[in-house]
Amino acid sequence: MNPLTKKSPPSGTLSMELLLGTLTAFAPLSIDMYLPALPRIAEDLHSSASVIQLTLASCFAGLALGQLFTGPLIDRFGRTRPLYVGLAVYVLGSLGCALAPSATALVAMRFFQALGGAVALVAPRAVVRDLWSGADAARTMSRLMLVVGVAPVLAPLLGGLVLQYTSWRAIFVLLAGIGVVALVATVRVLPETAPAHSGPRSVRSQLGALLKDADFVGPALAGGFAYAGMFAYIAGSPFVFITLHGVPEQSFGWFFGANAVGLVAMAQLNRKLLGVIPLHRMLRLALTWCWLTALVVFAVTWSGAGGLWGLAAALFLFVPTIGLVGPNSVAIALERHAAHAGLASALLGALQFAAAATASWAVSALDDGTARPMGGVLAAAATLAWLCAFLRHRSGAAKPEPTVAA
């Protein structure tokens, strides 16, 4: 491959953004589509709810480790070729999940599926950084959220629909089919955007530079902890809504989808607000809102105030804040690292999903048959995210590369 220099967005930018959004949606698709089936999977595989919740934790762990592995590869070999391989692995992993004979096997295959799907998270962020920077990158990430946000709306509804007519295993067959379609579309639509490198540099030295950069670590941790709070909700909500509150499997998607719609709306509001509020200040405001609404969720889950609808309302206040935190934290973290955007994107995503895996495991480990573990882990994660807002931004940082208009 002959690496390309930094360039303006190519023709067909709209179709490329649609594809990038779809690739980024692989994580919520893989996570959310089978959520309505968790209680049925536990029954079918003769396992407990806490063990089945580990299939979420293993998925998050695979996404975290997979991103660390693929980040250096997309810097070395370009954005497209590792993406082809990763999507193929994702398809095989999805079929393995469909054939899993036990809960243990399902946990293992979810990890393998996530390893392949991880590159679909790393590559789109790197492509965005190849072509945009600063507030323009944040606006582009917000546009991608339009596509990403459709997944949490449709995925659990589609999963519930599949359960009406067949078994939970068909959900993973469907995910494998989506992987095949995405692979074909990637080959046809996505150009190579990797910039030329100024010279060889070891992955170890690159990682060291990233971890010493407060402008990277601060927003990366803030975004990671905020996502951990959201995934505590994702891990706990199926059993809280379906088992604890008796919501039908087919109706669970409506509760889940309402929060996803709110998240997408906030991401689009973020695009407008960035026209009047500086990027770093916008992130601090978003993290403060995230923390305050998480405290509301905590209070409701521990007091039981309002029952099902009180909990649903509290979660609707919290989840949409991720639409503000996510795009801004990613744009700030990648701003100074265009030359190694793949590794920076991988480390960013790995931190996020490591936090998500920990949160999911904590919800499972603390399971007591109530909503309290979900609320407690969610609030703890949001508090840590808010504290990261106070990691000082270096005013003397080098100027970013010239911004390419979106």
Q: Which residue has the tokens 């949409």?
A: 320
Instruction: Locate all alpha helices (DSSP H) within 25-53, ordered by sequence.
Output: 26-32, 38-44, 49-52
pLDDT of res. 192: 83
Pairwise pLDDT comparison (193 vs 80), residue with the higher score: 80
Q: The domain 13-195+203-388: what is its CATH number?
A: 1.20.1250.20
Q: What are the sequence ranges of the domains in the chain?
A: 13-195+203-388
DSSP labels for 145-180?
HHHHTHHHHHHHHHHHHHHHHS-THHHHHHHHHHHH
For the chain, give the mean pLDDT: 83
What pTM, to 2 d.p., does this model score? 0.69
pLDDT-wise least confident of 45-54, 221-230, 389-398:
389-398
pLDDT in tens, 387-401: 987 765 443 344 443
Distance CA 194, CA 131 (A): 9
Minimum mean pLDDT range among 15-24, 336-345, 397-406:
397-406
Q: How many residues does the chain have?
A: 406
pLDDT-based confidence at 105, cuts 50/70/90? very high
pLDDT at 400: 42
Cα distance between residue 26 and residue 21, in whole Å? 9
- pLDDT category at 145 given cuts 50, 70, 90 is confident
Is the pLDDT at 2 greater than 60, yes or no?
no
295-331 pLDDT, tens digit each: 999 999 999 999 999 999 999 999 999 989 988 888 8
pLDDT in tens, 246-255: 988 778 878 8
Q: Smallest Cα–Cα separation from 127: which of 78, 68, 184, 77?
A: 78
**Dihedral angle of Cα 202, 207, 212, 216, to the nearest 10 degrees:** 130
Asked if residue 289 has pLDDT above 90, the reply is yes
Q: Give residue 10's pLDDT.
A: 53
CA distance 250 to 164: 8
Statement: residue 49 has pLDDT above 90: no
Percent of the chain whose predicted confidence (pLDDT) is above 90: 32
What does the pLDDT average to over 334-341? 73
Average pLDDT (93-111) is 95
* Predicted confidence (pLDDT) per residue in 342-398, tens digit: 788 788 878 877 887 788 889 988 988 899 999 999 999 999 999 987 765 443 344
Q: Of residues 68 and 291, which shows the higher confidence score? A: 291
Instruction: For 148-177, write each residue's pLDDT tens digit.
Output: 767 767 788 888 889 988 999 999 999 999
**246 φ/ψ sector (left φ>0, alpha ψ -120 to 50, else beta):** left
Q: Which residues contact 345 (CB under 8 A, 6 or more apart)?
A: 67, 71, 121, 122, 123, 125, 126, 129, 334
State the Cα–Cα distance between residues 33 and 160, nearest whole angstrom.
8
pLDDT beyond 70 at 406: no
Residue 205 pLDDT class (50, 70, 90 cuts): confident
Q: Cα separation of 243 and 250, whole Å?
A: 13
The predicted pLDDT at position 402 comes to: 37
